[in-house]
C-alpha cells in the first residue's frame, strides 16, 4: 500500500494550527502581565509624583504601545488559524511598532544630532512606506467589496 504524502501534510497542518493557538494563549498571558505592569507603573508615577516627568510618561506610553503590538500579533495569529487575510493586521502592527520607536526616539542617545539624523530619516522613511502599504491594502480591500471596518476587526 503506497504512502500518500497528503496524509502527512494534513497532520502537519493540524499540528501547526495547535502551535498557533498555543502561542495565542501565551500572548494573552503576556498581555495580562503587561496590563498589570502598566497599572503598577501608572500607580508608581502618581504616588511618586513623576507623572510630570516626560521620560517617565514616554516610558509608560512605550508600554501601552508594546501592549498594542502584542494585541496585533495575537489578532494575526487568530486570523492565520482561521485562514483569514493577515496582511492588514501585520501592516497595522508594523505601523504601531515604528510609531513606538519614533515616540521613544531620543537624540541624546546618539551623542550628536548629526549621528541621530540617519536613524530619524530611516524611521520616517519606514513609517511613510508602511502608511503607503496600509493605504494600498485598504484600497485593494475596498475595491474587492469588503467594508473598511473589516480591516480593524
Structural domain boundaries of the chain? 7-151
pLDDT digits (tens, 9 = 90+) for 73-85: 999 999 988 888 8
Global pTM value: 0.73
Under a CB-based contact definition with an 8 Å cutoff, are residues 89 and 72 in contact? Answer: yes
152 pLDDT above the threshold of 60: no
146 pLDDT above the threshold of 70: no
Q: What pLDDT shows up at residue 19? A: 92
Q: What pLDDT shows up at residue 140? A: 87
CB-based burial of residue 143 (10 Å sphere; 0-12 exposed, 13-18 middle, 19+ buried)? Answer: exposed
27 pLDDT above the threshold of 90: yes
Amino acid at each position: 500500500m503506497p504512502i500518500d504524502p497528503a496524509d502527512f501534510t494534513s497532520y502537519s497542518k493540524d499540528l501547526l494550527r495547535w502551535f498557533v493557538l498555543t502561542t495565542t494563549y501565551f500572548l494573552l498571558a503576556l498581555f495580562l502581565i503587561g496590563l498589570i505592569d502598566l497599572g503598577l507603573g501608572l500607580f508608581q508615577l502618581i504616588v511618586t509624583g513623576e507623572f510630570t516627568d516626560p521620560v517617565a510618561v514616554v516610558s509608560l506610553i512605550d508600554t501601552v504601545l508594546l501592549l498594542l503590538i502584542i494585541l496585533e500579533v495575537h489578532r494575526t495569529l487568530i486570523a492565520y488559524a482561521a485562514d483569514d487575510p493577515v496582511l492588514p493586521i501585520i501592516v497595522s502592527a508594523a505601523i504601531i511598532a515604528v510609531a513606538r520607536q519614533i515616540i521613544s526616539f531620543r537624540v541624546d542617545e546618539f551623542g550628536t544630532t548629526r549621528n541621530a539624523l540617519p536613524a530619524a530619516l530611516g524611521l520616517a522613511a519606514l513609517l511613510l512606506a508602511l502608511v503607503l502599504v496600509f493605504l494600498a491594502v485598504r484600497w485593494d480591500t475596498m475595491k474587492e467589496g469588503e467594508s473598511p471596518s473589516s480591516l480593524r476587526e
